[in-house]
Amino acid sequence: MIELKGVTKEFVKPSGELHTVLHGINLQVGKGEFCSIVGPTGCGKSTTLSLIAGFEPATKGEVRIQGEPLSGINSQAVCMFQTENAFPWKTVIDNVSLGLRLKGVKKSEAYDEARGWIQRVGLKGFENHYPHQLSGGMRKRVGLAQCLIVQPKILLMDESFSALDVHTRHLMENELLKIWSETGASVVFITHDLEEAIALSDRVVVLSAGPGSSVKGNYRIELERPRNVAEIRFDPAFMRIHEQIWNDLRDEVMISYVHAANH
């Protein structure tokens, strides 16, 4: 579904110098696969997501979606960020139905579809509430429904749950896994939290410390599904995988600290 082949991304600094964020990234995400990307702060995780979304082009190499080179915005993908997706001046049902309305679907049909999604994410009864009348977790549910109503083949999530308290976060993660398993979408999930990455994913990719980050490790997570993200952390198999990936990640985090201290 998604392939990055030898992708390098450079930005021009205000001084005019080139800053290489990613260097020679190779990454494949299959149809219906849940892939998380972890790495030290500033290594280029969000930049990777932005290349897959088509918000900006690779400097070198290629991003392919379903085998085709991506040019411009990736029409198969939707993005869910750490910040709110919902428009504050729109009700839940107007927010959730928006993607369909923008595609030209009639209001009554879009509303019918939106009601189904609102129910699926556990917000039945809140159709006419505004975002400020909901809790942070409920607003995330609105965001998820907003993304999934358009039945994307690719869901790109950047630290989507990191602002939530730990209990709400686990609820949302379990909810996400349940809904994802019913949609067959490919997910690329960016997180700082290795436990979250392992608990959710089929695969965890570790990026090395920047500048010029590349793929340091690529791990298949063979834990059984369905999973309960709050409980799976105590599974001995989970702990073994965590130790293995953390050994890789820790080195990169240390390198990143040293770089930060020297600048």
Q: Using CB under 6 A, list all residues that contact ligand ATP.
A: 11, 19, 21, 39, 41-47
Give whichever of 45 and 120 is closer to ligand ATP, judged by the CB atom.
45
Give whichever of 47 and 186 is closer to ligand ATP, judged by the CB atom.
47
- C-alpha dihedral over 72, 98, 175, 127, to 10 degrees? 170
Q: Both ends of the chain: CA-CA distance in Å?
A: 39
Using CA atoms, how far apart are residues 247 and 125, in angstroms rounded to an integer?
Answer: 46
In the numeric block, the tokens 């290594």 are attached to 43
Q: How far is the CB of 12 from ligand ATP (least distance, A)?
A: 7
Residue closest to 139 by CA, chosen among 170, 96, 181: 96
Q: Within 13 Å, how many C-alpha atoms sit on residue 29's CB side?
A: 30
Give whichever of 124 and 192 is closer to ligand ATP, judged by the CB atom.
192
**CB distance 84 to 143 below 8 Å:** yes
Q: How far is the CB of 94 from ligand ATP (least distance, A)?
A: 31
Give whichever of 11 and 89 is closer to ligand ATP, judged by the CB atom.
11
Using CA atoms, how far apart are residues 178 and 185, in angstroms rounded to an integer?
Answer: 12
Per-residue DSSP letters for 12-57? E-TTS-EEEEEEEEEEEE-TT-EEEEE-STTSSHHHHHHHHHTSS-
Give whichever of 43 and 157 is closer to ligand ATP, judged by the CB atom.
43
Strand partners, 62: 5
Q: How far is the CB of 250 from ligand ATP (least distance, A)?
A: 16
Q: How far is the CB of 56 from ligand ATP (least distance, A)?
A: 7
Q: How far is the CB of 73 from ligand ATP (least distance, A)?
A: 16
Q: How far is the CB of 15 from ligand ATP (least distance, A)?
A: 11
Give whichever of 21 and 35 is closer to ligand ATP, judged by the CB atom.
21
